[in-house]
């Protein structure tokens, strides 16, 4: 005889939400891929804008922030799984998060392996926040996947901030891209990795700047595929007939976040402010 209580428990877990967080709007680029691949899942997205940008914070600060956000997800949304939609937070805190919490946690790391595998010039580049650029996680990724590949590891201070304001093609963006990407354009690089989820919203602008010779890569589709794979493997995928819902929260100005998020996602977003 089947264990009815166990079945009910499993179904309840399947219906629980997936928590997704970033320092700000960048993680929306990951959320978009998750919603596309997992249309029946329910999500709660948190933009920790009170402390944006993450890219200029210490490892200790990032771990503390990640703990606070995860506790908020657990205590107020009863999440079944979490996606850290931020390269900087992943590179600095995911190891500690996995030690402390028992549920599934998916991270976001730069797609260095993919770039190295596809490079024909044996030169790739990665642009990321200052914190990600100097992290041990990125250094290990480069060491493990780029043994015969030359890697340009470029730290991009302030580039995250312009996207956070919803500016994707203004004079400041062009100035920063000229500053950080001229070296890439003038090199033998044939693959550029976007090592910050904010930068995905600049992808077309970056492609136009670099030209067709250099392929621009982000790992967001891979994150969504990994999330789906884990949900299936652990029998946690939501199979409800209705389309899933997403709740949006910001620790900063929720009105400004809603405006920028609506612009980036091309849908109406209404976020609530939350203190964590």
- CB-CB neighbours of 77 under 10 Å: 18
Distance in angstroms (rounded) separating the CA atoms of residues 183 and 189: 9
195 has binding-site annotation:
no
What's the chain's length in residues? 276
87 has binding-site annotation:
yes
Distance in angstroms (rounded) separating the CA atoms of residues 249 and 204: 27
Q: Which among 91, 146, 156, 196 is annotated as catalytic?
A: 196
3-state secondary structure 96-111: HHHHHCCCEEECCCCC
Distance in angstroms (rounded) separating the CA atoms of residues 62 and 94: 10
Q: Which among 86, 91, 146, 156 is annotated as catalytic?
A: 86
169 has binding-site annotation:
no
Strand partners, 216: 192
3-state class (DSSP) for residue 139: helix
Measured on CA atoms in the order 103, 109, 113, 114, is the torsion positive or negative? positive
198 has binding-site annotation:
yes
55 has binding-site annotation:
yes
The closest of 125, 93, 144 to 194, measured between CA atoms, is 125
48 has binding-site annotation:
no
Residues whose CB falls within 8 Å of the CB of residue 88, separated by 6 or more in sequence, listed in order: 23, 54, 55, 57, 62, 128, 129, 131, 132, 135, 196
Q: Decide if 146 is catalytic.
A: no
Quick one: 136 exposed, middle or buried, by C-beta within 10 A (0-12, 13-18, 19+)?
exposed
Pick out the residues of the known binding site. 22-23, 54-55, 87-88, 197-198
List the binding residues for substrate. Answer: 22-23, 54-55, 87-88, 197-198
- The residues carrying an active-site annotation are 86, 196
């Amino acid at each position: 005889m089947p264990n009815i209580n166990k079945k009910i428990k499993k179904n309840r877990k399947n219906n629980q939400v997936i928590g997704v967080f970033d320092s700000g709007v960048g993680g929306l680029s990951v959320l978009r891929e998750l919603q596309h691949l997992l249309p029946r899942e329910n999500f709660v997205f948190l933009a920790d804008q009170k402390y944006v940008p993450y890219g200029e914070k210490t490892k200790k600060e990032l771990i503390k922030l990640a703990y606070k956000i995860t506790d908020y997800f657990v205590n107020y949304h009863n999440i079944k799984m979490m996606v850290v939609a931020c390269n900087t937070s992943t590179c600095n805190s995911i190891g500690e998060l996995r030690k402390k919490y028992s549920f599934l946690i998916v991270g976001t790391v730069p797609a260095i392996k993919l770039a190295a595998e596809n490079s024909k010039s044996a030169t790739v580049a990665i642009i990321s926040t200052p914190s990600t650029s100097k992290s041990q996680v990125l250094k290990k990724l480069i060491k493990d996947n780029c043994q015969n590949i030359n890697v340009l590891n470029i730290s991009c201070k302030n580039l995250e901030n312009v996207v956070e304001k919803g500016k994707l093609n203004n004079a400041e963006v062009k100035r920063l891209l000229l500053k950080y990407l001229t070296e890439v354009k003038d090199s033998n690089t044939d693959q550029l990795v976007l090592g910050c989820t904010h930068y995905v919203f600049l992808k077309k602008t970056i492609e136009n700047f670099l030209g067709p010779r250099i392929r621009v890569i982000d790992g967001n589709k891979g994150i969504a595929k990994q999330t789906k794979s884990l949900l299936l493997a652990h029998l946690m995928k939501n199979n409800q007939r209705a389309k899933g819902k997403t709740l949006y929260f910001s620790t900063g100005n929720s009105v400004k976040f809603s405006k920028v998020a609506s612009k980036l996602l091309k849908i109406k977003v209404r976020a609530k402010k939350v203190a964590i």
